């Protein structure tokens, strides 16, 4: 069932805003104090022994740095508000699409398309299949090319594997030695988007949870 969850957003946004407000208050206070000290020093300096120009320049440079901190903090506050309020809505359109990832993918009896990447100089490559517990359940030789492979989900005697999540890996060999070991990507439908601890997560069919950075491609479902 497709869902868009923002419960965690409601809980986390006030804490983030509160932390930023405290930081902003501290920096602004330092900024105002520095400004008062600098103007007071200039006002009451001894005309016969004025402030050394190099010291005054250094103080002005510090003044500029504090000002930039305040401006940067204002920008971060604005960005936090924008991401907190609209971040999840920006990926709402992903729900229902298929994401290309190396996360475990759901097997429901239908073949799974696997996208292997054998090492370029390999003379043999094998596709290794793992169940949800991480145990190897099957391996077989595949072409040494980045070609789509249909994993039927059946054992050599024709018995179907149980429904559940499976992941894939490609082992590359040269003259009998392993020279490469890489996870193989698949496509899986996105069913939900969540914000947890300030980060956006996607839930795939079968329950695998990934971040947006784990997605290398999107395509229409079906």
- Tell me the H-state helices in 44-144: 53-90
203 shares a domain with 119: yes
pTM for the whole structure? 0.61
208 shares a domain with 126: yes
108 shares a domain with 73: no
- Quick: pLDDT tens for 104-140: 999 999 999 999 999 999 999 999 999 999 999 999 9
- Structure confidence at residue 85 (pLDDT): 45
> How sure is the predictor about 53, in pLDDT bands with cuts at 50, 70 and 90?
low
As for how many domains the chain has, the answer is 2
**Boundary residue ending a domain (90, 123, 153):** 90
102 shares a domain with 181: yes
Report the SS3 class of residue 153.
coil
52 shares a domain with 33: yes
156 shares a domain with 112: yes
61 shares a domain with 132: no
CATH number at residue 210: 2.60.40.4070
Average pLDDT on 45-64 reads 66
> How sure is the predictor about 23, in pLDDT bands with cuts at 50, 70 and 90?
very low
> Are the C-beta atoms of 111 and 126 separated by less than 8 Å?
no
193 shares a domain with 128: yes
- CB atoms near residue 81 (< 10 Å): 14
- Structure confidence at residue 30 (pLDDT): 62
Exposure of 136 in the CB half-sphere (CA atoms within 13 A): 9
- Quick: pLDDT tens for 180-197: 999 999 999 999 998 888
**Boundary residue ending a domain (90, 119, 147):** 90
> How sure is the predictor about 76, in pLDDT bands with cuts at 50, 70 and 90?
low
- Quick: pLDDT tens for 143-180: 998 889 999 999 999 999 999 999 999 999 999 999 99
Q: Which of 150, 46, 54 is nearest to 105 (CA)?
A: 150
């Amino acid at each position: 069932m497709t869902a868009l969850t923002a419960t965690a957003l409601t809980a986390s946004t006030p804490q983030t805003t509160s932390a930023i407000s405290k930081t902003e208050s501290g920096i602004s206070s330092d900024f105002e104090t520095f400004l008062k000290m600098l103007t007071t020093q200039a006002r009451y300096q001894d005309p016969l022994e004025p402030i050394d120009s190099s010291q005054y320049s250094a103080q002005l440079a510090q003044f500029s740095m504090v000002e930039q901190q305040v401006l940067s903090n204002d920008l971060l506050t604005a960005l936090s508000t924008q991401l907190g309020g609209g971040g999840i809505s920006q990926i709402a359109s992903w729900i229902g699409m298929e994401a290309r990832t190396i996360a475990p993918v759901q097997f429901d009896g239908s073949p799974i398309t696997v996208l292997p990447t054998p090492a370029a100089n390999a003379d043999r490559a094998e596709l290794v299949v793992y169940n949800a517990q991480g145990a190897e359940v099957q391996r077989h030789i595949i072409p040494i090319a980045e070609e789509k492979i249909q994993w039927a989900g059946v054992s050599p005697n024709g018995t179907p594997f149980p429904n559940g999540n499976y992941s894939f890996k490609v082992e590359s060999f040269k003259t009998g030695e392993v020279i490469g070991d890489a996870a193989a990507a698949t496509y899986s439908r996105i069913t939900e988007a969540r914000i947890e601890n300030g980060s956006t997560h996607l839930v795939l069919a079968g329950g695998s949870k990934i971040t947006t950075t784990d997605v290398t491609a999107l395509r229409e479902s079906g």
